[in-house]
Structure 1
C-alpha cells in the first residue's frame, strides 16, 4: 500500500534512503588537494562542496569511504611560496612567478614573530624556515576554512613524506621490475604509451630530481597498498591531460584502470553580481576565495549552489539570487519546505496532536491525488540516492529535493492537515501528520547528504 511509505520514512528516521547498494566497496576519495601556497579559491570550493556530498552519498549507499587531501608540500611551487614570504618580510617586491596578496604579508609576519632574529640569518636558512613554518601556517588556515565550510578529511597526506620515506624509489623500482621503465637523454622514463598515453612520461629528470609524476606514481601505489579497491580523484578541467597518464600508470603497475581508478573532471565556476563578473578577492587580490563566497551568500547556499549542477557543467553563480530569502532561491525553497512542516508539527503539538504509534496509523485514509503524488515522491528517495552515488552525481539529490518541496507545497495547498475550531480529529488527520513528518524526514536526510542544514524556523 502506497501510504505505508510515510510510516517507513518516519520510523527509519535518519536511516531512510540509505541502502547497501555499494556495500563491500572500499573507496579512497581525494578532492580539493589545493597546494598550501594560498587560501582555497572558488574552484577548490566547488570540489569541497561536491566532494564532501559525494562522500556522504557513497556512504549512504553502503560504501566505505576515506576522504583524503593530498597537499603538495614539496617542489618548485613551495620554493616560490617561501621566497614570496621572505620578500614580504623584507619589504621587497614579489619575486618572479611568486605569490602576492595580503595573506602572504600576514603569514610572513607570523613567521617572523615566531622566530625572532630570523631576518638576520643567511638566506638559505631563512628560506627553509619560511618554507617550513609558512606551509604549516597556510595549511592550518586551509584546514580551518574547509572545516568552517563543513568539510573535514579523514587523511591529510603530505607529498613530502613520499620523498622522505623512499616511496618514490620503491615505486620506480616496481615499475622497472614490470618492464615499463627505460632511460634516455639522461632521464628515467615510464613507457606510458604502451597503455594508451599520448607520450611517455619522465620519472627522474636529467638533473636527477624526481618529477611530479613520480610522486603521483608513489602516491597511487600507497593508496592501493592501504587496501583501497578504487582510487577516486576529483580534478579541475585544467587537469584533463592527467587522465591518460594516470590510467597508464595504473596499468603499468598491473591494475585494471577501469576497475581501480576513477578520475572526475569539473568545470569552472564564475561568480556574478548585478550581472557583472566578480573577479577580485579582498585577501588574495587576483582570485575569489571560499571565504568570499560564504560571506556573500552563506555556507548553506554556497554548498547547495555548487553541488546543484553537474560537475561537467560550468557554473555562473548569481550572488544576488543565492542570497535572497525568496522561493526563486533553490536552497531557500527547499529549506522553507522543511521549516513549514516543522511549524505545522509544532502547531499540532500545541493542539495535543501527536503522531502516536505506527500501528495505529490508517494509511488507507490517504486517498487524495496530492497525497498519492507526495507518497510516490517520498518512495523514490532511496533510488535517487543510489543512482546519484553510482553516477557520482550529487546534483541529482538537489534537483529531487526541489521537486519534493514543490510536491509538498501543492499537497499543503490542497489538503488541510490540522482541524479548525471544534472540528473532529479523524484518522485522516493523523495520517496526514505522518505524511508531513515523513516529508520532513526526507528533506532533512537529502539536505544532510549535501551538507546543508534543515532549519526548523525561517
Structure 2
C-alpha cells in the first residue's frame, strides 16, 4: 500500500463517518488527508494528523476524533494496527504483505512509477540558460541548463505540458561588440576595450574568413569596416549560436523553442504589447518618454518603455515577450535568472500584474546563485578557450556529463555551490553521483547473480509472497520507495529539482544497508525460498526507482560500474 492509497482510504473512512453522522462535518469539507513517514519508526509505518485538522470544524477534541477513527482504520485491508499518539496523531502500521506488495507495484509500473497528474492541464513555458550569443556557455549557464532541464522533466512527469525555451538575445549593443571583436581578431589586432576575447573569438573569425573565401568572396578583413563588421555580425552570431546549441545538446539540455529577441521588434510585437497596456490604462507619456506605471503594482519606480529618442527600452521587449508567451498558451511563464537579475524581479512581477495576470502564478521567477569550481583545493578561474570565464565545456571535459549535471542539480537554486572536481572524478561513496549510480549498478548485478542461482520473478518458476519481506531492512527500504511519487510531486510544486537528488541519495543509502543485511541468493547448497524471491522483487523495485529518479535529472543509470 502506497501513502497515496492509504490517504485515499482514510478519506473514504471520513466520508463514511460523515454520511452516518458520527462525524459532524459535511463530506465537502473533508480535505485530502496528509500521510507522512514518522521520524521515529517505532511509531509505525505512517502517520496522519487528520484528526487534529478536522476536530475544531467537527466540534470535538482531536484525540476523541482520533479514537473514533481507530477501529475504522484497523478494519482496512492491509492495516495491522492504529494507535493514537500525542494530541491526536494517528500512527498506522501495515501488515507485511500489504507493505511488501509495493515492490510488485513498482516493478509492474516500470518507468511510470513516480509519475502523476498533479499538474495536468497546465501549460508551463520554462525559459532557462538564454546566454548571450557572444561566447560559450559559462558555468552559471551550465547550472541553469542542468536545473532547467531537470525541472522540465519533473514538471512533465507531473502531467504539465512544458515548453522548453531559450531566449536568443540578438538585438542590442552586445552583438555589435561581438562583431567588432571578430573583425579585430581577423586583422590580428587586440580586442576592443569593451569587446570579447579568448581563443573562441579567433576560431570563429577564422571560420568566417574560411567560409567566405571558399564561396569565392574576399576575406572580410580586407573590406571596409562597415561591410566587414556586418559580415562578421551575421555569420559570427550564427556560428556562435550553433556552437552553444551543440554544447547544450551534448549536455542533454534540448529546447523546443529558440526565441529571437530581434523578432519582437521586427514583427511588431513590441507595438502590440504597448497597445494592450495602453488599453489597460497603465501607460503614460512623461518627459518625452513612454512609461509603464509599475509603481501601481508594487515596483519601486516606474519603468521606461520608449525612450525620449523614440527607441524602445530593453524593458519594452520584456513586456512583449511575456505577452507573446501568454498568447502562445502558457498558463505560467517560469524564468530561471542568475543572481545578477535579482533586482529585475520587482519590475517583471509588476509588469505581469499590469497585464491583469497574477504574479507568482502566471509569472514565476527563480533566482540562482553562482557556482565555484575547485581543484586540488584551489579555485579554478580560467578557461582554455574563453580566457576569463570557466565554461560548460570545461566542466564536462573535467568530470563528464553525468557528474556535472548531478552536481549542479542536487543543490537548491538559491544557494551558492562549490564544485570539487577531484571529488566528482572519484569513484568513492563521498561522490554523490557515483554513490547513487553505483547503487543502481549494484541492483543490476544482484539481479544477474540471482538468475545464475535460480532466483526468478517468473510466476511460472516461483510466486511472489510479499509477506516474506519481514526484515526490518525490508521495511525501511519499502518505506522510502513509497515516498518517491510524493517527492516528485513536491519537487514539481515547489520548483525544487534538488529534492529528487537528495531522495535518491537517501534511497541509495537504505539500499546499501539492505544489501548488507539481507540476501537475494541462497547460501551454498541451500534451496531458493520465498524470501529470496520476494527480495529479488524488492531489489528490482529499487533499481527501477533509482533509474526513474536519475532520468528526471538527465543522468544515466549504468548497468555496470
TM over 0.5: yes
In 1, distance between residues paired with 2:159 and 2:104? 23
Match of residue 194, structure 1, among 296, 300, 303: 296
**Corresponding residue for residue 33 of structure 1:** 130
**Corresponding residue for residue 513 of structure 2:** 410
**Corresponding residue for residue 475 of structure 2:** 372
TM-score scaled by length of structure 2? 0.80
In 2, distance between residues paired with 1:48 and 1:58? 15
Deviation of the 1:330 alpha carbon? 0.6
Larger CA deviation: 123-132 vs 429-438: 123-132
- The RMSD of aligned alpha carbons is 1.2
Q: Which string of whole-angstrom CA distances, capped at 9 and with x for unpartnered residues, describes residues 47-99 of structure 1? A: 00011100111111111111000010111111111111111111122112111
TM-score scaled by length of structure 1? 0.98
Match of residue 286, structure 1, among 384, 388, 400: 388
Deviation of the 1:449 alpha carbon? 0.5
Deviation of the 1:146 alpha carbon? 0.4
Residue 125 of structure 2 aligns to a residue whose secondary structure is strand
Deviation of the 1:44 alpha carbon? 0.4
Deviation of the 1:384 alpha carbon? 0.7
Residue 443 of structure 2 aligns to a residue whose secondary structure is helix
- Aligned 8 A contact 2:339 2:370 in 1: yes
Match of residue 223, structure 1, among 304, 318, 325: 325
- Aligned 8 A contact 2:368 2:413 in 1: yes
Indicate whether 1:357 and 2:459 are aligned.
Answer: yes
Deviation of the 1:365 alpha carbon? 0.7
**Corresponding residue for residue 189 of structure 2:** 92
User: Unaligned stretches of 5+ in structure 2?
Assistant: 1-97
Q: What does 1:261-280 align with in structure 2 at a 5 Å threshold?
A: 261-280=363-382
In 1, distance between residues paired with 2:294 and 2:206? 45
- Aligned 8 A contact 2:457 2:463 in 1: no
Residue 240 of structure 1 aligns to a residue whose secondary structure is helix
Deviation of the 1:344 alpha carbon? 1.1
**Corresponding residue for residue 121 of structure 2:** 24
**Corresponding residue for residue 265 of structure 2:** 163
**Corresponding residue for residue 66 of structure 2:** none
Q: Which has the larger radius of gyration?
A: 2
In 2, distance between residues paired with 1:273 and 1:43? 18
Match of residue 499, structure 2, among 396, 410, 413: 396
Q: What does 1:137-148 align with in structure 2 at a 5 Å threshold?
A: 137-148=239-250
Deviation of the 1:255 alpha carbon? 1.4
Indicate whether 1:449 and 2:536 are aligned.
Answer: no
In 1, distance between residues paired with 2:528 and 2:193? 76
In 2, distance between residues paired with 1:400 and 1:220? 34
Q: What does 1:15-414 align with in structure 2 at a 5 Å threshold?
A: 15-116=112-213, 117=218, 118-357=220-459, 360-414=463-517
Deviation of the 1:259 alpha carbon? 2.1
Deviation of the 1:213 alpha carbon? 0.8
Match of residue 531, structure 2, among 428, 431, 449: 428
Residue 308 of structure 2 aligns to a residue whose secondary structure is coil
Residue 254 of structure 2 aligns to a residue whose secondary structure is coil
Larger CA deviation: 186-195 vs 356-365: 356-365
**Corresponding residue for residue 8 of structure 2:** none
Higher relative contact order (CA 8 A, sep 6+): 1
In 2, distance between residues paired with 1:353 and 1:337? 20
In 1, distance between residues paired with 2:531 and 2:265? 68
User: Unaligned stretches of 5+ in structure 1?
Assistant: none
Deviation of the 1:127 alpha carbon? 1.5
Residue 92 of structure 1 aligns to a residue whose secondary structure is coil
**Corresponding residue for residue 60 of structure 2:** none
In 1, distance between residues paired with 2:554 and 2:322? 28
In 2, distance between residues paired with 1:206 and 1:90? 38
Deviation of the 1:193 alpha carbon? 1.1
Deviation of the 1:2 alpha carbon? 0.4
Deviation of the 1:260 alpha carbon? 0.5
In 2, distance between residues paired with 1:107 and 1:214? 32
Q: Which string of whole-angstrom CA distances, capped at 9 and with x for unpartnered residues, describes residues 102-136 of structure 1? A: 00011111111122312333322221211111111
Residue 326 of structure 1 aligns to a residue whose secondary structure is coil
In 2, distance between residues paired with 1:426 and 1:351? 12
In 1, distance between residues paired with 2:241 and 2:389? 18
- Aligned 8 A contact 2:453 2:522 in 1: no
Aligned length: 458
In 1, distance between residues paired with 2:207 and 2:271? 36
In 1, distance between residues paired with 2:292 and 2:234? 32
Deviation of the 1:262 alpha carbon? 0.1
**Corresponding residue for residue 437 of structure 1:** 540
